[in-house]
């Protein structure tokens, strides 16, 4: 038996609830829909499910703009639906993680609606309110991830407020102990309902009132490119000196860790963090120091343009150099914010379209053989490709809407799951239309169909995860060698007291092999 906690080796399945399964015919996925598909997920053999936000929200950023942290947005269901869902998840032997957004809320949250009214109300300093410069301009040069300034004007207060993302997502002031306690109560609310862990969104963007608000400095390594990340002024700056990765984050993390540990020491905290170029592992180490987060969510395999074999080796070795011997890191190749790996990595690895399925299975095996935990995004187990033919008038992502048609945003990886090729909308919904169009190219990979198809990615990955559970080198320790191999091969050893397992991933033959040595 392993002495490791469940999260130190967990394979976590990420659900984007709006696009998983619609149970009531409104064209939008919901909690009852998720509940109806839990056997499909359990059949893979994953250890936990992570569900992106389903809280009360005006949906400007599709749930990452929360107006009530302790209730369910009606289009997703009710708290009773949530309770039914988590009960079934646990009955099936899986854990549940949910997405908490601690850095910002919706501008329609009652906290902000009160705060913006005046400078002397009870919530007056729950957000970052800063006077204009003498000439009326913004307080400093900080920019939003989504383009434009990170400051918006509130005429009632005659002040600017901070938002690292949309203007409808004001940043909370974590220097205020009342703000911290309000978020502590959120953690207790969901832990009391049985939630096993949190994926903490954009933790690196938490800010405390830090007047004077210093300017960011110029990024000397910035190179203009074709993608919006490179075109936007945001990436012309270095942010860790002033705007991001500030000390208030660790106060938040330490508070949440104390709360998690009070629940029998079995609740998991995984933070989404990032840092200026080359600093991601350093930042992650700080965030997971003793008494802080259990793990961080690693972006290094999520590079927008994909990674070559050498790039994969470097990214993994950078993580191993810092985290070898621990489960303090979570790897992922896809999520709700980047193009799907079946498309992104196919190009980066210089493979042909007929090699997509074999490549996708190889990547799934690779990430679940690395130290720590791993996240599989819905549809990766089917080899779903990015959807690039969404009509501009049907796009939903505010980032994509702003830049289309040059850039399609994140809708391309968020289209609804398909379940049965023969059913309307692939079995996702009985509605006349769905919130994003169902991709016709996905129908040949419908989930329930593939779960019953011999040799499908789903079946082969399920078989692999069953084999993985019986490997002491993977399940009983988090130690691995440096990754070696040639230009098309990754080779490393997973090591425990009971077993040394040599893992070889060949990107020419697109096969993985394992040998006890």
**Cα–Cα distance list, 472 to 328, 409, 475, 477, 496 (Å):** 19, 41, 5, 7, 6
300 is catalytic: no
Q: How many CB atoms lie within 10 A of CB 44?
A: 20
Contact 135, 234 (CB under 8 A): no
113 is catalytic: no
User: What is residue 413's DSSP assignment?
Assistant: G
Mention every residue, 6+ apart, whose C-beta is less than 8 A from residue 30.
Answer: 17, 21, 22, 23, 24, 75, 76, 77, 81
Does residue 71 sit in helix, strand or coil?
Answer: strand
Residue corresponding to tokens 């995004």: 377
**Cα–Cα distance list, 32 to 22, 80, 265 (Å):** 8, 10, 30
Q: List the one residue out of 259, 122, 110, 129 whose CA is nearest residue 183.
A: 259
* Spatial distance between the Cα atoms of 281 and 271, rounded to a whole number of angstroms: 13
Half-sphere exposure at residue 125, Cβ-oriented, CA atoms within 13 angstroms: 11
Q: What backbone phi and psi angles, to 5 degrees, belong to 414? A: -115, 5
* Spatial distance between the Cα atoms of 45 and 86, rounded to a whole number of angstroms: 17
47, 75, 201, 493: which one is catalytic?
Answer: 201
Contact 49, 13 (CB under 8 A): yes
Q: List the one residue out of 35, 14, 9, 51 whose CA is nearest residue 465.
A: 9
Phi/psi-derived region of residue 379, left when phi > 0, alpha when psi is between -120 and 50, beta in every other case: left
22, 65, 75, 272: which one is catalytic?
Answer: 272
User: What is residue 172's DSSP assignment?
Assistant: B
Contact 426, 418 (CB under 8 A): yes
Cis status, amide bond into 24, omega within 30 of 0? no
Q: List the one residue out of 372, 240, 364, 366 whose CA is nearest residue 295.
A: 372
Q: Which long-range contacts (CB under 8 A, 24 or more apart) does 236-243 make?
A: 237/141, 237/143, 238/276, 239/276, 240/275, 240/276, 240/279, 240/283, 241/214, 241/216, 241/217, 242/140, 242/142, 242/210, 242/213, 242/214, 242/215, 242/216, 242/217, 243/142, 243/150, 243/164, 243/207, 243/216
One-letter-per-residue 3-state SS of 459-483: HHHHHHHHHHCCCHHHHCCCEECCC
Structure tokens at 188: 């207790």
Catalytic residue positions, numbered: 201, 272
């Amino acid at each position: 038996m392993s002495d490791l906690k469940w999260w130190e080796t967990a394979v976590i399945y990420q659900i984007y609830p709006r696009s998983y399964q619609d149970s009531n015919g409104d064209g939008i996925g919901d909690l009852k829909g998720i509940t109806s598909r839990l056997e499909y997920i359990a059949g893979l053999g994953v250890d936990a499910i992570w569900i992106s936000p389903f809280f009360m929200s005006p949906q400007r950023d599709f749930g990452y703009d929360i107006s009530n942290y302790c209730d369910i947005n009606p289009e997703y269901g009710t708290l009773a639906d949530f309770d039914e869902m988590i009960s079934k998840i646990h009955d099936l032997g899986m854990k549940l993680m949910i997405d908490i957004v601690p850095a910002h809320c919706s501008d329609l949250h009652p906290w902000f609606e009160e705060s913006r009214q005046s400078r002397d109300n009870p919530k007056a300093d729950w957000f970052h309110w800063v006077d204009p410069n003498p000439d009326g301009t913004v307080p400093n040069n900080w920019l939003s991830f989504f383009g434009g300034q990170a400051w918006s004007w509130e005429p009632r207060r005659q002040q600017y407020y901070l938002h690292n993302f949309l203007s409808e997502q004001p940043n909370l002031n974590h220097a205020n102990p009342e703000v911290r306690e309000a978020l502590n109560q959120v953690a207790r609310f969901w832990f009391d309902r049985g939630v096993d862990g949190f994926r903490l969104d954009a933790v690196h963007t938490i800010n405390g009132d830090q007047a004077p608000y210093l300017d960011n400095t110029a990024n000397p390594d910035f190179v203009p490119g074709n993608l919006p990340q490179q075109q936007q002024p945001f990436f012309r700056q270095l942010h860790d000196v002033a705007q991001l990765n500030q000390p208030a984050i660790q106060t938040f993390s330490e508070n949440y860790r104390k709360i998690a540990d009070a629940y029998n020491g079995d609740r998991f905290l995984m933070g989404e963090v990032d840092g200026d170029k080359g600093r991601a592992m350093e930042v992650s180490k700080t965030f997971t120091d003793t008494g802080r987060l259990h793990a961080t969510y690693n972006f290094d395999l999520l590079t927008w343009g994909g990674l070559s074999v050498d790039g994969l080796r470097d990214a993994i070795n950078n993580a191993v150099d810092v985290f070898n011997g621990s489960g303090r890191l979570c790897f992922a190749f896809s999520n709700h914010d980047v193009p799907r790996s079946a498309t992104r990595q196919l190009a980066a690895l210089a493979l042909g379209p007929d090699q997509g399925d074999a490549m996708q299975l190889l990547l799934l095996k690779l990430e679940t053989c690395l130290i720590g935990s791993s996240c599989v995004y819905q549809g990766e187990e089917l080899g779903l490709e990015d959807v690039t033919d969404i009509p501009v008038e049907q796009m939903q992502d505010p980032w994509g809407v702003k830049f289309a048609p040059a850039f399609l945003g994140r809708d391309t990886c968020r289209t609804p799951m398909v379940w049965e090729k023969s059913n309307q909308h692939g079995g996702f919904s009985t509605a006349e239309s769905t919130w994003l169009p169902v991709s016709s190219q996905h129908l040949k990979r419908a989930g329930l169909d593939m779960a019953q198809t011999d040799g499908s990615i789903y079946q082969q990955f399920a078989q692999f995860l069953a084999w993985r559970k019986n490997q002491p080198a993977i399940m009983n320790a988090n130690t691995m060698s440096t990754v070696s191999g040639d230009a098309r091969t990754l080779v490393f050893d997973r090591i425990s007291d009971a077993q040394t397992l040599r893992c070889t991933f060949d990107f020419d033959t697109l096969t993985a092999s394992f040998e006890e040595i």
